[in-house]
Amino acid sequence: MKKGRLLVLAAALAGCALLAVSAASAGGSHRSVSDTLVFGTAADPVILDGPLVSDGESLRPINQIFEGLVGLKPGTTQVVPLLATSWQANKTGLQWTFKLRQGVLFQDGTPFNAAAVCFNFNRWYNFPGPLQNQGVSYYWNTVFGDFAHPAQGNPGPGQGLYKGCKPVGKYTVILSLNRPSSSFLGALSLTNFGMASPTALVKYKADAGTVDNNGVFHPAGTFGTQHPIGTGPYMLQSWTVGDKLVLVRNPHYWGTPAKLARIIFKPISDNAARLQALQTGEIQGYDLVDPADVPTIQKTSSLKLLSRPAFNIGYVGINQSYKPFDNVLVREALAYGLDRKSVVDSFYAGRGQVADQFLPTSLVGYATKGVPQYPYDPAKAKQLLQQAGLTLPVPVDFWYPTNVSRPYMPNPQQNAEAFGASLNNSGFKVTFHSAPWRPDYLSSVQAGKAEVFLLGWTGDFGDPADFLNIHFGAQGTEFGFNNPSLFSLLTKADEEPNLEKRAALYQQASVEVMKFLPVVPYVHSSPALAFQKNVDGYQPSPVSLEPFSTVYFGK
Amino acid sequence: MSLAEIEAYVEEELAPQGGLWRDAWRRLRRNPGALVGFGLVGLFVFIAIFAPVISPYDPRAQNLLLVAHGCCQGPTWAHPLGADQLGRDELSRIFYGARFSLVIGVVSVSVGLSIGLVLGSIAGYLGGVADTVIMRTMDVMLSIPGLLLAIGIVAALGPGLWQIMIAVGTTNVPIFARLLRGSILSQKENDFVLAARSVGVPRRSILVSHILPNAISPVIVQGTLALATAIIDVAGLGFLGLGPQDPGTPEWGTMLTQVDRYLQSAPFLAIVPGVAIVISVLGFNLIGDGLREALDPKLRGRA
pLDDT surpasses 70 at B279: yes
Phi-psi sector, A398: left (phi>0), alpha (psi -120 to 50), beta = beta
Restricting to A residues 228-287, those with a Cβ less than 8 Å away from any Cβ of B are 271-272, 275
pLDDT above 80: residue A481: yes
Phi-psi region at A451: left, alpha or beta (left = phi > 0; alpha = psi -120 to 50)? alpha
> What residues does A307 pair with on adjacent strands?
A528
A1-53+234-308+527-555 with A66-232: one CATH topology?
Answer: yes
* Dihedral of alpha carbons B194, B195, B201, B206, sign: negative
Picking from B67, B231, B264 by the largest number of A CB atoms within 10 A of its own CB, the best residue to mutate is B264
Domains of chain B listed by start with CATH number: 100-252+277-294 (1.10.3720.10)
Q: Kindly state the percentage of chain A with pLDDT values over 70.
A: 94
Residues 6+ apart with CB under 8 A from A433: A397, A398, A399, A400, A450, B245
Within a 13 Å sphere around the CA of A499, how many CA atoms are in the beta-carbon half?
3
Cα A552 to Cα A535: distance, rounded to the nearest angstrom: 6
Instruction: Name, in order, each residue with C-beta under 8 angstroms of B143's C-beta and a sequence gap of 6 or more.
Output: none
* CB atoms inside a 10 Å sphere around CB B227: 25
Cβ contacts of B256 on chain A, cutoff 8 Å: 13
Of A6, A295, A432, the CB nearest to B229: A6
Q: Is the pLDDT of residue A171 over 90?
A: yes
Q: Tell me the C-alpha distance between A441 and A179, whole Å.
A: 35
On the question of a cis peptide bond just before residue A439, with omega within 30 degrees of 0, the verdict is: yes
Specify the pLDDT at position A28.
38
Amino acid A506: pLDDT = 94
Residue B2 has a pLDDT of 58
| pLDDT tens per residue across span A201-252 | 999 999 998 887 767 788 999 999 999 999 999 999 999 998 999 999 999 9
Label residue A436 by pLDDT band (50, 70, 90).
confident
Beta-strand (E) ranges in A106-204? 162-168, 172-177
Gap from A45 CA to chain B (nearest CA, Å): 24
Give per-residue pLDDT as tens, A7-33: 444 444 444 444 444 443 333 334 445
Residue contact B263–A6, C-beta within 8 A: no
pLDDT, residue B259, reads 84
Q: Sorting pLDDT into bands at 50, 70 and 90, what band is A123? A: very high
**The CATH number of A66-232 is which of 3.40.50.10800, 3.40.30.10, 1.10.260.40, 3.40.190.10?**
3.40.190.10
Estimate the share of chain B in helix, then strand, then coil, as percent rounded to the nearest 5. Answer: 75, 0, 25
B65 contacts in A (CB within 8 Å)? 342, 346
Q: Best mutation site among B263, B277, B286 for testing chain A: the one with the most A CBs within 10 Å? A: B263
| pLDDT, position B300 | 56
Query: Please, where are the H alpha helices in B127-160?
Result: 128-142, 146-157
A24 in contact with chain B, both atoms CB, cutoff 8 A:
yes
Shortest Cα–Cα distance, A541 to chain B (Å): 26
ipTM: 0.73
Angle at A230 between CA A129 and CA A112, to 5 degrees: 100
The mean pLDDT value of chain A amounts to 88
A17/B274 CB distance under 8 A: yes
Distance CA B29, CA B17 (A): 17
Q: What is the average pLDDT across A479-502?
A: 89
Determine contact: A413 vs chain B, CB below 8 A: yes
Per residue in B89-148, pLDDT (tens digit) is 999 999 999 998 888 889 999 999 999 999 999 998 888 899 999 999 999 999 998 889
- Looking at the domain A1-53+234-308+527-555, which fold is it? D-Maltodextrin-Binding Protein; domain 2 (3.40.190)
Give the pLDDT of residue B19: 67
Confidence label for A422 from pLDDT (cuts 50, 70 and 90): very high
Condensed to tens digits (0 to 9), the pLDDT of residues B4-60 reads: 555 555 445 544 455 667 777 888 888 888 999 999 999 999 999 999 999 989 988
Range A452-476 average pLDDT = 89
Sign of the Cα pseudo-torsion (A504, A506, A512, A514, in order) = negative
Give B130: exposed, middle or buried? Use CB within 10 Å, 0-12, 13-18, 19+. middle
Q: Considering only CA atoms, give the Rg of chain A.
A: 25
Comparing CA positions, the residue from A448, A364, A456 lying closest to residue A408 is A456
CA distances in angstroms from B233 to A246, B88, B155, B171, listed in the order given: 44, 25, 15, 10
The alpha-carbon gap from B118 to the nearest alpha carbon of chain A, in Å, equals 24
* The Cα angle at residue B40 between residues B38 and B43, in degrees rounded to 5: 105
Q: Please state whether the predicted TM-score (pTM) of the whole model is above 0.90.
A: no
What pLDDT, on the 0 to 100 scale, is given for residue A4?
A: 42
**pLDDT score recorded for residue A3:** 42
Q: Which of B108, B107, B130, B129 is nearest to B118 (CA)?
A: B130
For residue B55, which amino acid is it? S
Domain range list for chain A: 1-53+234-308+527-555, 66-232, 312-525
Question: Nearest residue on chain B to A411, judged by CA atoms?
Answer: B261
Q: Output the pLDDT for position B247.
A: 82
Pairing of strands A428-436, A394-402: parallel
Is it true that the peptide bond before A309 is cis, omega within 30 degrees of 0? Answer: no
What pLDDT, on the 0 to 100 scale, is given for residue A112? 95
Give chain B's contact residues with A (Cβ, < 8 Å).
Answer: 60, 62, 64-65, 67-68, 70-71, 85-87, 225, 228-229, 232, 235, 239, 241, 245-248, 256, 258, 260-265, 267, 270-271, 274-275, 277-278, 281-282, 285, 288-289
**Nearest CB to A17 within list B86, B245, B271:** B271
User: Is it the case that residue B207 has pLDDT exceeding 60?
Assistant: yes
| Phi and psi based region of residue A297 (left: phi greater than 0; alpha: psi -120 to 50; beta: remaining) | alpha
**Does residue A1 belong to the interface with chain B, where contact is any CB pair within 8 Å?**
no
CATH pick for A312-525 out of 3.10.105.10, 3.40.309.10, 3.90.245.10, 3.30.70.100? 3.10.105.10
Residue B298 pLDDT level (bands cut at 50, 70, 90): low
Tens digits of residue pLDDT in A307-341: 998 999 999 999 999 989 999 999 999 999 999 99
Cβ distance of A343 and B64 shorter than 8 Å: yes
